[in-house]
Chain A
């Protein structure tokens, strides 16, 4: 008797859910309702993501102009800005040159090894950049592996270390994009070239790479953006070198509003222009494909040459990328046993702020992820299905990309100035909104790409079978994109937790974990090397859980 009643109860629950869903379903069929949902999503985008930074810039234009009165500050600002762009350009070129052979290795060689390298290649992406910076600093410094052989630091904080660092954390982006492209690439064109007599090297150079040019440009742009934007790690290893983000942080600490605003705004304008230029001229770049050197390329195609190339790629990868990235594990493990760990667990001294900051970072992360998923989904559908018509959709697509094109620290500065001018929001919410702005793009891009890959004829057929828009979304689109949904959510969350630049620009009293760690490592807050290592180590360990989750999800999809 009792069992039956329970069953009836659950059945009536599901009936309520079904009733609710069918009401929503019928609503979704109404043009007005669906337009409302899309309008809300677009409005949210403009009101919270796009417009505040723009207004923030306008509000502070006069302060920015102050810098023109001080030649020394002006010179310093120009220098920092130029260095930002030069660095970004050089590093992206280096990343392409190393990333392509690596991606090739992953996709075209033995699947077991390829999969291992593939997983390793994600590491610099998952490790929060402040940890990356710290690890790199230690590795190449006087306490690191390099010094074991030379007795002194190989590299001290400065330009060289910055270049190495930027090279390291942008490489996974290039590898990820190129692996995706190569896996989906129809080898037919390459095979056709070979049947016509082209050696493998020639075929790749004259056929495959030109066809993949859009993704080469895309990975260059992503790498470029990351380098321009990166703050946390750069601060850690910059020493006296100043690029844009470093100068902004230094100016903020010193209370110099002028250079702070000036450099921020110039970076924003400059990166937008650089982006447009690369996007426009990149595809037009004529790769040298008309000339062929059959003898040389035959030699380069031989197994020995291929092996040499693969070994070189792998060596650079292991010794320049992976080892420095993971190096921090050693001192962290050491710190587990020298008493620092006990201090940490008992929240002694600086550790109480550590746990508070961690809590803050994760709470913000969760709020930001959930909000972006709810608000970004309609936008993703709008873009993927071109609901606004071709021209408006590509404009929207471009606008949505702005938060990642623009350096996050500069974004933080303009957001901070806007919300502070309005004055109604407490610091916690300004921080949250800044994180939301930075991560909005990730979710929308991941979802819109996934939705676009669902063939539209599946939707068309479902509609003619009688399914209303909400049913089509629930029963066709969502099941087929659910892995991208999870991946997008994980990506958003990790990016939010990792965010240093904007958080540093916005924060007054509250410090998110990366910002706190920057203070620890730079010495702004004096802590022992052990404490630094453990603090960074714990953050890395927790981020690795994120990596595992991402891997599991992606593997399921494959």
Chain B
């Protein structure tokens, strides 16, 4: 039952800090995604868990055993690479049976397991093909099967779909997720794609600059992110400056430009400068002047996005708010240059303290 504990993991490359005192717990059979911008340390983290890199400080425990000194080949941890590292000189069947063979199993005993896995990924008819004859998506499925055949119950995915088309990516991730769930595996999945992470994980861990920022179930992180970075990284959000003018029983009231916005945040103090974040899909837009307590602005751009229509509204102070209105809610009769009002429900207005380094730096994605 692989459950993993990471304690105080630190890794530096010269002056660059790749991992800084990282703590993480992964439960047995959990599907955990680690997301963050390039260079946040997520790949370094799983490479340390696999044994490909050695951390400078800290401990890694699998089922309460410290594996720091165990070489890669004895850790029994499956690894799927972004570059699809199928052995180009071996056929599919030889690739998948590689693990059992190098561990001393005879061809015959490995055969049953290998065939079962190939059936599972629906590639039994390609056993004798070479990797380069398969599509990218098929190759990655073989790579997963290969990792499973070697007997690992813990899998590490390093941006496994990075090299694939977006359509193929979308379908493949569900297939792989189902497979790992059915087989009762523990999975650590590293990706920079937040939609991918949220759609298939039990829990998501957000990293930035070598540190864990926060973690939690996808829904919770998306709807109630604890930091501005998480709010911005998991999806789009509008960020506005404001000041708390009142604390009520339901939550703080924040003054933004010439309007008051009700929030559900009970931790703020009156007079505090805050940053307010609202996701575009949680803002309603309507033509007209509206009553006194909503944001007002002028529509500067309308774009059809398929599932939603995107409005860019310029409000007082010159800032632009993005609103995404789902097309299934019906068509709004709004044209560019129309005066509109923007409203949102209190639970969708998130308030944060003003970051020390300033809002710009906090929102930086690279």
A and B touch in the complex (CB under 8 A): yes
Contact B89 A196 (CB under 8 A): no
How far apart are the CA atoms of A294 and B52 in the complex, in Å? 21
Do B77 and A193 touch across chains, with their CB atoms under 8 A apart? Answer: no
* Cβ contact within 8 Å between A196 and B146: yes
Name the CB-closest residue of A to B104: A294
Total A residues in contact with B, Cβ cutoff 8 Å: 24
Q: Judge whether A195 is part of the interface by a CB distance below 8 angstroms.
A: yes
Chain B residues whose CB sits within 8 angstroms of the CB of A206 once the complex forms: 98, 102
Most interface-central of A192, A202, A207, A290 (chain B CB within 10 A): A192
Min CB gap B87→A, angstroms: 6
Cβ-neighbour of B101 out of A200, A210, A213, A292 (below 8 A): A292
**B104 in contact with A292 (CB, 8 Å):** yes
Q: Which of B87, B101, B147 contacts A195 (CB 8 A)?
A: B147
- Contact segment of B78-86, B122-130, B246-254: B78-86
Q: Say yes or no: is A199 at the interface (Cβ < 8 Å to chain B).
A: yes
Chain B residues with Cβ below 8 Å from A197 are: 73-74, 76, 99, 102-103, 150-151
State how many angstroms separate the Cβ of B333 from the closest Cβ of chain A.
45
B72 near A294 with CB under 8 A, answer: no
User: Is B50 an interface residue when CB atoms closer than 8 A count as contact?
Assistant: yes
Q: With A and B bound together, what is the CA distance between A202 and B102 in angstroms?
A: 8
Bound complex: CA A294 to CA B101 (Å) = 9
Contact yes or no, A188 B147, CB < 8 A: no
Contact residue among B71, B79, B151 (Cβ-Cβ distance under 8 Å from A192): B79
Shortest Cβ gap from A294 to chain B (Å) = 4
Q: Within the assembled complex, what's the spacing in Å between the Cα atoms of A193 and B95?
A: 10
B88 at the interface (CB under 8 A from A): yes
Q: Does A194 interact with chain B (Cβ within 8 Å)?
A: yes
| Chain B positions within 8 Å of A189 at CB level | 85, 87
Task: Identify the closest chain A residue to B87 (Cβ).
Answer: A207
Cβ–Cβ < 8 Å partners of A194 in chain B = 71-73
Whether A292 contacts B102 in the complex (CB less than 8 A), given A195-B78, A207-B87, comes out as: yes
User: In the assembled complex, how far is the CB of residue B81 from the closest CB belonging to chain A, in whole angstroms?
Assistant: 6
**When A195-B147, A292-B102 are in contact, do A211 and B72 touch as well, CB less than 8 Å?**
no
The verdict on A191 contacting chain B, using a C-beta distance below 8 Å, is: yes
- Cα distance A195–B52 when bound, in Å? 9
> A177 on the interface (CB 8 Å rule)?
no
B89–chain A nearest beta-carbon distance, Å: 5
State the CA gap A295–B81 with chains docked (Å). 28
Please tell me if A198 contacts chain B, counting CB pairs below 8 Å.
Answer: yes
Is the CB–CB distance between A188 and B83 below 8 Å?
A: yes
> Could you tell me the distance between the alpha carbons of A558 and B331 in the complex, rounded to whole angstroms?
61
Whole-angstrom distance between the alpha carbons of A206 and B89 in the complex? 10
Q: Which residue of B lies closest to A209 (CB)?
A: B89
Interface residues of B in 102-132 (CB under 8 A from A): 102-104
A206 to B77, CA, bound (A): 20
Chain B neighbourhood of A188, CB < 8 A: 81, 83, 85
Chain A 157-210 residues near chain B, CB threshold 8 A? 186, 188-189, 191-200, 202-203, 206-207, 210
Alpha-carbon distance A200/B72, docked complex (angstroms): 9
Cβ proximity bits B258-295 to A, threshold 8 Å, 1 near / 0 not: 00000000000000000000000000000000000000
Chain A residues numbered 190-240 whose CB sits less than 8 Å from any CB in chain B = 191-200, 202-203, 206-207, 210-211, 213
A196/B52 contact (C-beta < 8 A), A188-B83, A211-B89 known: no
From the candidates B52, B88, B98, B146, name the one contacting A198 in the complex (CB within 8 A). Answer: B98
CB distance from A460 to the nearest CB of B (A): 22
Question: Chain B residues near A191 (CB, 8 Å)?
Answer: 52, 72, 79, 85
How many residue pairs link A and B with beta carbons under 8 A? The number is 71
- State the CA gap A213–B101 with chains docked (Å): 22
Residues of B close to A292: CB separation below 8 A: 101-102, 104
A294 to B88, CA, bound (A): 23
Cβ distance A179 to chain B, nearest Cβ, rounded Å: 22
Write the nearest CB–CB distance from B154 to chain A, whole angstroms: 11
Q: Which residue of B lies closest to A199 (CB)?
A: B73
User: Complex: how many Å from CA A188 to CA B72?
Assistant: 13
**In the complex, what distance in Å separates the CA atom of A288 from the CA atom of B73?**
21
Separation in Å of the B54 CB from the closest CB of chain A?
Answer: 13
Chain B residues near A200: list those with CB within 8 A.
73
Residue among A188, A200, A295 with the highest chain B CB neighbour number at 10 A = A188
Using Cβ atoms and an 8 Å threshold, which residues of chain A touch B72?
191, 194-195
Q: How far is the CB of A282 from chain B (nearest CB, A)?
A: 14
CB distance from B252 to the nearest CB of A (A): 50
B73 — which chain A residues lie within 8 A by C-beta?
Answer: 194-200, 203
Chain B stretch 130-155: residues in CB contact (< 8 A) with chain A = 146-147, 150-151
Report how far A211 CA is from B73 CA in the complex, Å.
Answer: 20
Q: What separation, in Å, do the CA atoms of A213 and B89 have in the docked complex?
A: 10
Q: Which residue among A192, A195, A197 has the maximum number of chain B CB atoms within 10 Å of its CB?
A: A195
Is there contact, CB below 8 Å, between A193 and B52? no
Q: Is the CB of A195 within 8 A of B50?
A: yes
Chain B's closest residue to A211 (CB) is B89
Which residues of chain A have C-beta atoms less than 8 A from B147's C-beta?
A: 195-196
Interchain CB contact under 8 A, A210 and B85: no
Check A294 against B85 for contact (C-beta < 8 Å).
no
Minimum CB–CB distance from A196 to chain B (whole Å) comes to 4
Interface residues in A290-319 (C-beta closer than 8 Å to B): 290, 292, 294-295
Q: Is the CB of B83 within 8 A of A196?
A: no
Docked pose: A196 CA to B103 CA in angstroms? 8
A507-B365 Cα distance, complex, nearest whole Å:
71
Interface string of B55-79 (1 = CB under 8 A from A): 0000000000000000111111111
Kindly state the separation between the CA atoms of A295 and B102 in the bound complex, as whole angstroms. Answer: 10
| Candidates B78, B88, B101, B104; contact of A211 at CB < 8 Å | B88
Q: Is A192's CB under 8 angstroms from B81's CB?
A: yes
- A210 engages B102 (CB within 8 Å): no
Chain A residue nearest to B79 in the complex (CB): A195
Please indicate the chain B residues that have their CB under 8 angstroms from the CB of A195 in the complex: 50, 52, 72-73, 75, 77-79, 147, 150
The smallest C-beta distance from A499 to any residue of chain B, in angstroms, reads 39
**How close is A247's CB to chain B, nearest CB, in angstroms?**
42
Contacts of B83 in A (CB 8 A): 186, 188
* B102 A196 Cβ-Cβ under 8 A: yes
Task: Tell me, in angstroms, the Cα distance from A197 to B76 when the chains sit together.
Answer: 7
Specify which of B78, B81, B85, B102 lies most central, judged by the most chain A CB atoms within 10 Å of its CB.
B102
Closest A residue by C-beta to B74:
A197
Q: How far in angstroms is the closest Cβ of chain B from A259?
A: 46
A210 touches B79 (CB 8 A): no
A555–chain B nearest beta-carbon distance, Å: 20
Check if A196 sits within 8 Å of B98, measured CB to CB: yes
B359 to chain A, nearest CB (A): 36
B34-61 CB contacts (< 8 Å) to partner A? 50, 52
Closest to B75 in A: A195
CA A196 to CA B145, docked complex, whole Å: 11
**Quick one: which of B75, B76, B98 contacts A193, CB cutoff 8 A?**
B98
Task: Write out the residue numbers on chain B whose beta carbons fall within 8 Å of the beta carbon of A213.
Answer: 89
A347 CA / B151 CA spacing, docked (Å):
78
With a cutoff of 8 Å between Cβ atoms, the chain B residues found around residue A290 in the complex are 94, 101
Q: Report B-chain residues with C-beta under 8 Å of the C-beta of A294.
A: 102-104
- Determine if B150 and A196 form an interchain contact, defined as CB atoms under 8 angstroms apart: yes
Chain A: minimal CB distance from B44 (Å): 14
Tell me the bound Cα distance from A421 to B53 in angstroms. Answer: 68
Given A192-B85, A193-B98, A198-B98, 7 extra CB contacts under 8 A: A189-B85, A192-B87, A195-B73, A195-B147, A202-B102, A294-B104, A295-B104
Q: Which of B's residues lie within 8 Å of A, judged by CB?
A: 50, 52, 71-79, 81, 83, 85, 87-89, 94, 98-99, 101-104, 146-147, 150-151
16 residue pairs from A and B, CB less than 8 Å apart: A188-B81, A188-B83, A189-B85, A192-B81, A192-B87, A195-B72, A195-B79, A196-B150, A197-B73, A197-B103, A198-B102, A199-B102, A202-B102, A206-B102, A211-B87, A292-B104
Which 6 A-B pairs give the minimum distances between C-beta atoms? A196-B99, A198-B102, A192-B85, A194-B72, A195-B79, A196-B150
